[in-house]
Structure 1
C-alpha cells in the first residue's frame, strides 16, 4: 500500500468524525474531543525520501538502552532480563534497538493489537453484528403477541441501552405492544463452554472479569452513583435499568472527612427466589466525599440481558406477562426486527482506546464463529487468527492466545512479533482505522494522563498493557527527526509497576530521534550489524540476541 500524504490523511480524519453520541456509559468508554497531531495516522510518517527502506544491506543495532530508560529500570529494581524492547523505523523491519527481542513475554492488553488487527483484516472495518427478534403465535388487534418473542444474539460487543432501544422500538414498529408468552434468548452463536471460562482473579464482581456472551448487554455491569445531601439522605441512581432490580437504601450522609476507599459501601446484590434482585446499601457516607460511582458486575448474562430488555420494553409502553428462558429460534418463527451494531471500526476504537477486555473477548470469539462454523470456541478463534497471521507473513511460533484480550497469564508474544504486527497493520488497507484506535499520548484513552507536559504529548499512538507483574507499551511515535517509529516494550517482573517511568522515558527518547541519538551515543558498534536474515533467526530462536 502506498502511504497517503499527510494532508489527505488529516482531511480524512476530520471528515470521518461524527457528532458525539451522549452515552450513559461514558465512565466505561468516554470519548475525548482532543485534536490529533498533524499526521492523523502514522502511515504518512515522513517525506518520500525518508520513507524508503535503508539503501544499505545492514544497519547497526544496539542492545544498550538509553540512559534515562536504564535509570528508570534501576530505580524500580527491574533487571534487564525482565525487559524486552524493539524500536524500528516505520516501513523498515530492521530493528535499531533490540533487547531480548525474541523472548516470549506476557503482553497484558497489548495482545489486543493482535486481536483487533486480525478482526479488522478478516471481518472488514464495516462489519456489523446482528441482534434479531423473531415471533411465533398471533398478534391480536391490541398489539399483544400471543406467543413467544425470541431474541437471537451473535456477540455484539457494544449492546448498551442506547443501542438495544433500537431493537425494542423496531419490535414496537412491527405492531407488537405486549407479549403474552415467553421471552426466549437464543445464544447458540457461542459454544456453551465459553460461559464456564474461569475469572482472571478472585475479584469476580469486577467489570474487567466479565466474560463473553452472544447477548452481552451493557458489559454486564451495574453502575451505582451515590449522591449525598445535607439533609442526611443519599440518593442512588443505577445504570442500566433492570426490570427485576430493587434498591434497598440504608445509607446516611454524615459530616467529617472523606477517608478510606469506601469499599464498605459496595452493595450486597442478592437474587431472590421470586426473580427479584435486591441491591442493599448500608452505612455512613461523608458529605465531603461528594458523588461516587461504584461499578459491579453481577448476575448471569441471561438474567442481565432479560432484565435490561424488559426494562426498556416497559419504559416504551410495552407489557409482558410471561417468563424468560433460553432456547433456539424455531424453524417456523418469523423475523420481526433486526438491530445492527456500530461498525467494527468503532468497536476497535473503544477496545484499544479504553482497553475494554469484555469487548475484546467478544470480538475474539466472533472471529472464530465467522471464519469457522458456529458455535464459536476459543480454539476456532486461535486457529483462525494464526492462519491469518501466517498468511500475512507474520510469525506465530511464540504466539500463545487464550482469549485475545491479554487478561491472561497464559497469553504470550515476543516484542519482535508485536513489532511485526504493527508494521504489517501500518502498511495494510485498515491502517487508518487501526492507528486511530490507539490511545494518543497525553490526550485520550489509557494514555491521557501520561507525558502531558513532554514534547511527545500528542505525537504518539500507544497501546498500554497492565497486569500484576506486567507493564507493556506498543505503538507508533512520530519523531521530531521527521521519521516515525514502531516501539514495543514488555516488562515481566514483580516490580514492573514501578517501572512505568522507564517506558515513559523510552517514548520521550524515541520522540527526540533515535537515529541521531544512537549515532551520537555509540562510539563503537556494540553488536554485529542486523540484517533481515538475522531478524528471521531472532524470530525462530528467542535465545539468539537475548540478554
Structure 2
C-alpha cells in the first residue's frame, strides 16, 4: 500500500522547499545593486523541489494518491501494483489484493498456458487424403477425406493463415496431380476436435460495448438468413430490444438479427471451418471439371478405417504466431479456441469446461496465487472473471525465467507503437510499456512489463472497474499513474 505518512512528510518538505525556492528566485529577479529588474525564464519552483527532494517512488505514490480523489476514479474500484522481479518486492501498490474484473488481460493466462503446454512451434495440420483406387479413366472409386485437427486459424487469414481460397486451390491441384477426373464417393470430414464447436457463451457476456462487437459468433443454424441485417456503421447502439450479433456463414461477415428462432440457448458456435472448407473444395472440383457423385459428410469416429493415401497437407501458422496475433489484436475467438485446444491436449475433449480445468491446474502447478482468482473463459469477455493485481504481477514475474518468455513478451502490444497500445503512451512511455490491454463497459485494465529509464524491467498491473467518465479519460489517468514509474 501507499505510505501515507511518508507522503504527508514529503509534502511538508516540498512546501518548505517551495518557500525557500521562492525567496531565492525573488532575490535573482530583483537586485538593489542594479538599476533594472531582470525577468528570467526559470523552471517552476515546485518542479525543482520535487526533483530535489522526492524519489521516483515518492512520485509514484503521490500519483496514486492524487488519483484517489480524481472525479473519474473516485468512486471506482481499482487496484495497482508496480513490482520489482529481481528483489521480489512491491515498489508501490493500491488495493493490490482486491479481486477485480480483468477483461482481456485474462488472455495473458490463456496464451501462456497454450505456449507452456504445446510449445511455440506447435502447428495444426489439415490433411487431404483419398481411399480406393483410380481406374484407367481417372475415376476414383473411393472417398476423399479432409482430416482436421482443430486449427483455430483455418481459413481466417489471421496470423498469416492461408485463406480458404488458397487451401482449396492447393487441394484441387493435388487431386488433379493424382490423375483423378471423377470421384465415385463422398468427401468425408474427419476430425475428433471441435465437434460443432458448440459451447455456451461465457457467463454475463455483454452483447455490445463501446461500439465494439465482442460476440465471436452466435448460433447460425437457427437464425433464418432472411432475418439477417448487415451492420451499416460502427456507431450503432443497442436499442430497447435485444439484437443478436453473430458471424453469418451466409454473408461471411458480422450481422445482426432482431429475431431469434432457436430454443433460447445462445452459443459461440462458429461456422464449421472443416465443413466450409469441404463444401468450397467440392464446389471448386466441380468448376474445374472433376465430378463428385457423393456428398460432403462428417465422420467423427471410424472403427474400421479405410486404407488412405495422403495427397496434401496444410499447416497452420505456429502457435507463437497465433499467440502474437491474439495478444496484439486481443482476438476473442482465437483465445477461446486456444482454451479448447489445451482442454483437448490434456483431457481429450474440446469443451470450454475442460479448458478451464486445464488452465486452472496449470496455474496451480506454477504456483500462481489463486486467492481471488475466478477464471471463466479464455478471452476475458465474462464479468465473472476475477483476479488480483498482486497475483498478476507475481505471475508475470515468474515467467521471466521460462523458455517461452521471449515469445510471450514479444506478443505484447508496445506503448505508442503496436497493437492495442498503439494510441497510448505516445510521449512518456513510448516504446517502454509492454502490456496486454482489457476493455469492457466501465472496465479498463492493463498488465505487463515496464522498461524504465534506468534500465530496469519492472512488472505492473492496473485494473479499473466501475469508473466514471469516458474510456479516453481513464486511459489518461492510467498514463499518469504509470508515467512516474518509468523513472524508478
Query: Is TM-score (shorter-chain normalized) higher than 0.5?
Result: yes
Evaluate the alpha carbon distance shift between residue 83 and residue 202 of structure 1 in structure 2; reply closer, same or farther with a 3 A threshold: closer
Q: Secondary structure at the match of 2:90?
A: coil
Q: Take 1:318 and 1:424, find their aligned partners in 2: how far apart are those partners?
A: 58
Q: Residue 154 and residue 259 in structure 1: after superposition, are their counterparts in 2 closer, same or farther (change >3 A)?
A: closer
Paired position in structure 1 for 2:66: 70
Q: Which residue, 345, 352, 357 being the options, matches 2:327? A: 352
The 2-side partners of 1:428 and 1:260 are apart by 41
1:190 to 2:194 alignment: yes
Secondary structure of the residue aligned to 1:472 is strand
Matched, 1:209 2:215: yes
Aligned to 1:396: 370
Residue in 2 aligned with 1:173? 174
Match of 2:398, SS?
Answer: helix
CA offset digits 1:352-372 (Å, max 9, x no partner)? 111011111111111111122
Is the CA contact (8 Å cut-off) linking 1:462 and 1:475 kept in structure 2?
yes
Distance 1:101 1:249, change over 3 A: closer
How does 1:23-102 map onto structure 2 within 5 Å?
65-67=61-63, 70-71=66-67, 74-79=70-75, 82-102=77-97
Q: Which moved more, 1:309-318 or 1:391-400?
A: 309-318
Match in the other structure for 1:326? 298
Picking from 303, 306, 313, the partner of 2:275 is 306
- The residue that corresponds to 1:431 in the other structure is 405
Closer/same/farther in 2, CA of residues 455 and 469 from structure 1, 3 Å limit: closer
Q: State the aligned residue count.
A: 392
Distance 1:62 1:459, change over 3 A: closer
User: Hey, what's the Cα distance between the residues in 2 that align with 1:71 and 1:270?
Assistant: 41
Cα distance change on mapping 1:319 and 1:100 into 2, 3 Å: farther
Alignment of structure 1 residues 394-543 onto 2, 5 Å: 394-452=368-426, 454-495=427-468, 497=471, 498-511=473-486, 513-514=487-488
Q: By how many angstroms is 1:401 displaced?
A: 1.7
Q: Any idea what SS the aligned residue of 1:102 has?
A: coil
The aligned residue for residue 16 of structure 2 is none
Determine which structure has more spread, i.e. the larger CA radius of gyration. 2
Q: Identify if the C-alpha distance between structure 1 residues 297 and 270 changes in structure 2 by more than 3 Å, giving closer, same or farther.
A: closer
Q: Distance in 1 between matches of 2:68 and 2:122?
A: 43
- Cα offset for 1:207? 6.3
Structure 2 CA distance for partners of 1:202 and 1:483, relative to 1, 3 Å = closer
1:125 pairs with 2:120? yes
> C-alpha distance in 1, partners of 2:321/2:379?
17
Deviations 1:56-99 (A, max 9, x none): xxxx998984437834971314436x001110123332111121
Matched, 1:104 2:108: no
Contact 1:87 1:488 in 2 (8 A): yes
Normalised to the residue count of structure 2, the TM-score between the two structures is 0.69
- Deviations for 1:303-353, whole angstroms, at most 9, x for unmatched residues? 565345543665573746443333225332325333221111111101111
The aligned counterpart of 2:22 is none
Once the two structures are superposed, the pairs formed by residues 279-294 of structure 1 within 5 Å of their partners are none
TM-score (norm 1): 0.62
Q: Please report how far the alpha carbon of residue 189 of structure 1 lies from its aligned counterpart in structure 2 after TM superposition.
A: 1.8
Structure 2 portions without partners, runs of 5+: 1-55, 258-267
